[in-house]
Amino acid sequence: MLNWMDRSFFRPYVLCYYVNALTKISKKYGTVFSVQLGTEKMVILCGYDTVKDALINHAEEFAGRPVTAMGSRTSQKYGKPFNNQTITNAAVANIIVSILMDQRFDYDDPTILKLMRLISENIRIAGSTMIRLYNSYPWLIRWLPGAHSKIFENRKEMRDFVTETFTRKEKELDINNQRNLIDAFLAKQKEGKPESTLYYHNENLNVLVSNLFAAGMETTSTTLRWGQLLMMKYPDIQQKVQSEIENVIGSAQPQVEHRKKMPYTDAVIHEIQRYGDIVPGSVPHAPTKDITFRGYFLPKGTIVIPLLHSVLRDKAYFEKPEEFYPGHFLDSDGKFKKNEAFIPFSLGKRSCAGENLANMELFLFFTSLLQNFTFQAPPGAELDLNPAPGFTNAPLPHEICAIPRR
């Protein structure tokens, strides 16, 4: 077991440094090892074989979530340079809004701008040193000012918005005309069955809606922004995607059904997800009971990190793991091929529930964007592919030029 209570760990926290360090440590200590952070011991799982063994072969045992101190409380284009974060976030967020509330917001609506700010800020803060310290020393840190306090403020704002929203929806509810997820949830509430009280109460609805907003917007939007950045960085790949779009779709509106006829575009989207490495540390798991895994005894409730970064960079499964290389998903005939180590949504019982929706969104957004625009860097700009600090790996702030193709 390693103890990371040394000065180097408490440099300004950068998630990519954290997962890279853990990956390097695994080369010395093996694919299952633990690190001690304050009072918390974490077990790290590295490489596809080990992560798959835990999340698939021992799915029941690793289906839990650990209890942490924080968790328990808690423009126009025209070829001119612009930052694409807000508009991309808003486009993806509106899909979640339509599922939850059967409506959409204008991109400059103060409500959606506030929601996006709260979510993005909390995602960024969640990867900070202060949050790691809070989870390790909650009795000490909770009384100090810092980023952890801002997370609680943002969470309250989010909960207040959600509460006001579904309270209004409850007054408008028509059991015989359920138009969205909130309607369906509220209808279950009124059935009068035992599970109506046990599961379909307002607290669960609030948490469900908040989580769908956060998870449904941030990761998909971040992946799309990586896609645009990488197309700027590799214009030859962008041109090949656009050629395939022209040959298969033409000027028609992209449909999900087109994907099976577009192996190169499919491979590029997969490689964007792999290379972007959006959630490198995954979301922590915890054994639901005492378990001996690969010779190591893990007590119930132990924090377990299936290091997705180590899987998506696993040399045993990816020929050029540190490069952006769509060939990882193409065979010798140029046909799309699956790679079992491609698990950006994780594996097992705790894999991302929104995987199918996210895959549809990524294909439709990505092909529509490249059908209508060519993305270029502003003159003289240097494209940095290092991720920004945060819980997720997002691109560093940058401007892009979107040149209309029609």
Is the pTM for the entire model greater than 0.85? no
Whether the CA torsion 344, 348, 352, 354 is positive or negative: it is positive
Mean of the per-residue pLDDT values of the chain: 85
For 29-50, what is each residue's pLDDT tens digit?
899 998 887 777 889 999 999 9
Instruction: Output the pLDDT for position 134.
Output: 67
Whether the CA torsion 68, 310, 265, 235 is positive or negative: it is positive
Cβ atoms of 307 and 252 within 8 Å: the answer is no
Cβ atoms of 154 and 123 within 8 Å: the answer is no
Among residues 66, 25, 62, 65, the alpha carbon closest in space to that of 47 is found at 25
What is the band of 273 on the pLDDT scale with cuts at 50, 70, 90?
very high
Least reliable range by pLDDT among 22-31, 62-71, 139-148, 190-199 = 139-148
CA distance 247 to 250: 6
